[in-house]
Amino acid sequence: MQTLRRYLFRQLLGATALVLLVFLGLLFFLDALNQLSDNGHGFTQALLLVALQLPARAYEVLPIAVLTGAVYVLAGLAASSEFTVMRMAGLNPRVALAQLVGFGLLSAALVFALGDFVAPAAQRLQAELQARAAGHFGSAPDAGLWVRNREGRNDDQMINIGSIAAQGRLRHLRIYVLDDSAHLLRTVQAASATYLTHGEWELHDVESVQLPPGPGGVVRRDHLAQLKWHTAVSPAVLDALVLSPEDMSVFDLWRYIGHLQANGQAVQRDQLELWRKLLYPFSGVIMMMLALPFAYLHARSGQLSWKVFGGIMLGVSFILMNTLASRLGLVAAWPVWLAAALPYLLYGGAALGFFVWRVQRH
């Protein structure tokens, strides 16, 4: 059985790697064309930016590559009668399912590593390169980045950051301090800010305007070379905000949700994305469960190419269902865990049902 496992895993790994390379090559070509036509980057810079997108692309398409590769291998083994020989050697349906689930767990570990470590790091580097080339933060040079931070009843801060430089240094910073009735109490503008430690920033070249609490008061305006600023907004929070929730790691997204909750902001969409990222690695297991029945379809049941095409469509339908369930969950206000888990329950249940009905009775 160990020999069969090694042989099967080697076949699955080779086919999955080949399909993944084909998908990534096609996506690289399309992304490169889009980068060159839309943003006007130089050829070398455009290729570098597209290359930094490849980990995120691999994270997205790896489950489909796993399913397509598995369908190709299993259908090919069935067509050549190798799978029949494996069954005679003791590879019964339950053992086959266990072996495929084991390979699915390996792919789940790879998907998690790509989505939580490799892809976010590459996306941050890409954002930094784009910002450095454009000379501003992200894609909104006029508006910058807005962050809310609530320190107390009369210290609700609305923070606008013009740009984020290296080592978390902020530039063109504006702070608007409001009371609990949303009345403006104070404005602070700084040319730059440097993080010190324990929630303390040092503002440079500061203009502070203190508004009177009532009519008839005197407006106080101060110009300072430096000013200490205490806030819960740390470089770690800002680092998470550089990416969209879809591109954050699980830990960064969890930390970002905590920041939003502490400031009374809506978190349902971000919580749904957190659940999706937690469950997405297990899509490889679902894909392997869906692939197993193709091993029991003989050559006379259809050509190999049609089976591979059917496997691709099955994987694409799972990704589409995953997106659709998320959108419906937001519109219908479903529990976030249900909206995220529904495609896995449907496809996993269908795979197990077909396994019992067709494979076990085969």
The pLDDT of residue 287 is 95
| pLDDT for the residue 152 | 65
Establish if 127 belongs to a structural domain: yes
272 and 221, same domain (yes or no): no
Are residues 99 and 187 located together in one domain of the fold? Answer: no
- Within a domain: 259: no
Contacts of 36 (CB under 8 A, 6+ apart): 43, 46
* Contact between 66 and 284 (Cβ < 8 Å): yes
Pair of tokens at residue 20: 């993944």
* 8/98 same-domain check: yes
53 plus 113 within the same structural domain? yes
Higher pLDDT, 304 or 249: 249
Q: Are residues 68 and 163 in the same domain?
A: no
Tell me which H or E stretch contains 38. helix 2-38
Residues, the chain, total? 362
Q: Is the pLDDT of residue 137 over 60?
A: no
Digit-coded pLDDT (tens) for 160-186: 998 877 666 888 999 999 888 888 999
CA dist., res. 65 & res. 315, Å (int): 8
CB count in 10 Å sphere of residue 5: 15
Q: Are 217 and 315 part of one and the same domain?
A: no
Same domain for 153 and 210, yes or no, is: yes
Query: Do 165 and 76 share a domain, yes or no?
Result: no
pLDDT of residue 162: 85
Does residue 171 share a domain with residue 91?
Answer: no
Give the pLDDT confidence score for residue 139 in this predicted structure. 40
Same domain? For 82 and 158 the reply is: no
Confidence of residue 141 (pLDDT cuts 50, 70, 90): very low
Q: Given pLDDT bands bounded at 50, 70 and 90, which one contains residue 155?
A: confident
pLDDT at 140 over 50: no
Ordered DSSP codes for 270-314: HHHHHHHHHHGGGHHHHHHHHHGGGGGS-GGG--HHHHHHHHHHH
Residue 192 has φ and ψ, to the nearest 5°, of: -160, 165
Confidence category of residue 41, pLDDT binned at 50, 70, 90: low
Q: Give the pair of three-digit tokens for residue 125.
A: 């580097």
77, pLDDT greater than 60: yes
Give CA–CA dist 299/76, Å, rounded: 9
Among 107-111, 195-199, 288-292, 339-343, the least confident range: 195-199
Residues 21 and 79 in one domain: yes
β-pairing, 200-210 with 220-230? antiparallel
Domain that holds residue 223: 145-234
Q: Is 193 helix (H, G, I), strand (E, B) or coil?
A: strand
Q: Tell me: pLDDT of 138 over 50.
A: no
Instruction: Tell me if 174 sits within 8 A of 167, measured CB to CB.
Output: no
- Report the chain's mean pLDDT, rounded to a whole number: 87
Q: Are residues 296 and 328 in the same domain?
A: yes
pLDDT band at 44 (very low <50, low <70, confident <90, very high): confident
* 20 assigned to some structural domain: yes
Give the CA-trace dihedral at 316, 321, 324, 325, to 10 degrees: -150
Q: Which of 234, 257, 277 is the last residue of a domain?
A: 234
Render pLDDT for 268-313 as a digit per residue (tens, 0 to 9): 999 999 999 999 999 999 999 999 888 877 655 457 788 888 888 9
DSSP 324: H
Domain count, the chain: 2
